[in-house]
Structure 1
C-alpha cells in the first residue's frame, strides 16, 4: 500500500504520444496504435542516483498501446507515472550490462506491436491489466 504520492528519481526527459490509425496491434484489430516516445539526454547524476556527480547516458525508448478506451486509460496513467518520475531511473542496463544508463523502472511497456510477450509485443491479452496493476503498486490510479 502506498501512502501519499510516491515520486521517483527519473532524470529530466520528454514523453510524447501519437495515434496511428492505419495500423493495429494483434488482438486489437480495427483500432489504431498509440505510440509513446520517451527521450532523455545525457546528464549528470544527482544525489538521488547511484553515482552522484558522474555522467549518465540518455536514451530513446518507444512503447505501444492499442487505441482503445482501455489503452487510452493506461496512457493517462503512464503520463501520471512519468510526471511523478517513476517510469525510468539511472542504473545498470539489463540489456547491455553498462552502468550509469537511463533504464526502465519496473513499469513494463510493449516495445513492439507484434511478436507476442516473448518479443515484448502483442498479442498479450493480459498486458493492459498487468501494467495497470504495476502502476497501482506505485500509487498511480485513476
Structure 2
C-alpha cells in the first residue's frame, strides 16, 4: 500500500485544504491455499485526512480490504472487498464510482470501523 498526497481537492470536498490521498494497493502474482492469481494494482481516492488513510492502512494490513475470487478450481482473481465503499475515480459521481459523493467520507470510515471491530481488531487514532 502506497499513499500519494495530491494538491487538488476532490469535487464536493473543496473546503478540505489538505487535498486528496491517492492510495495504491499493489499485489504481485502469487498463490494462496493452492489458488494462483495474477499481479494486480488498485487505486482509490479519499479526502486528505489522516483518519480514513490510517483506517484503510489498518484494514489493508489485516487483510480486510481485498478478497480472492475463485474463477476456476485452482485459479483466482484479487478483487475489492465490496463491504467497503471504494471510490476509484476522481470525477463522475457515485454512479461512476467517483466524486462528488458527499456521504463517502462517513460511509468509508463507518464501514472500516465496524469491520475492524467485528474482526476483533482494535483501532485507536
TM-score range, shorter chain: 0.7 to 0.9
Deviation at 1:58?
2.6
Deviation digits for residues 85-110 of structure 1 (CA, Å, limit 9, x no counterpart): 111111158xxxxx610011122211
Coordinate RMSD, CA, aligned: 1.8
Ranges of 4+ aligned residues in structure 1 off by more than 4 Å: none
Alpha-carbon distance change, 130 to 16 in structure 1, aligned in 2, over 3 angstroms: same
Deviation digits for residues 60-100 of structure 1 (CA, Å, limit 9, x no counterpart): 00000112xxx32111100010111111111158xxxxx61
Are 2:43 and 2:88, in contact at CA under 8 Å, matched by a contact in 1?
yes
Unmatched tracts of structure 2, length 5 or more: 118-122
Pairing of 1:107-122 with structure 2 (within 5 A): 107-122=84-99
Q: How many residues align?
A: 113
The answer as to 2:12 corresponding to 1:18 is no
Deviation at 1:133?
1.7
1:39 aligned to which of 26, 32, 42: 26
Are 1:92 and 1:103, in contact at CA under 8 Å, matched by a contact in 2?
no
Structure 2: distance between partners of 1:108 and 1:40: 20
Unmatched tracts of structure 1, length 5 or more: 1-14, 47-52, 94-98
Structure 1: distance between partners of 2:89 and 2:63: 23
TM-score by length of 2: 0.81
User: 1:101 — aligned with what?
Assistant: 77
More strand by share: 2
- Of structures 1 and 2, the one scoring higher in RCO (CA 8 A, sep 6+) is 1
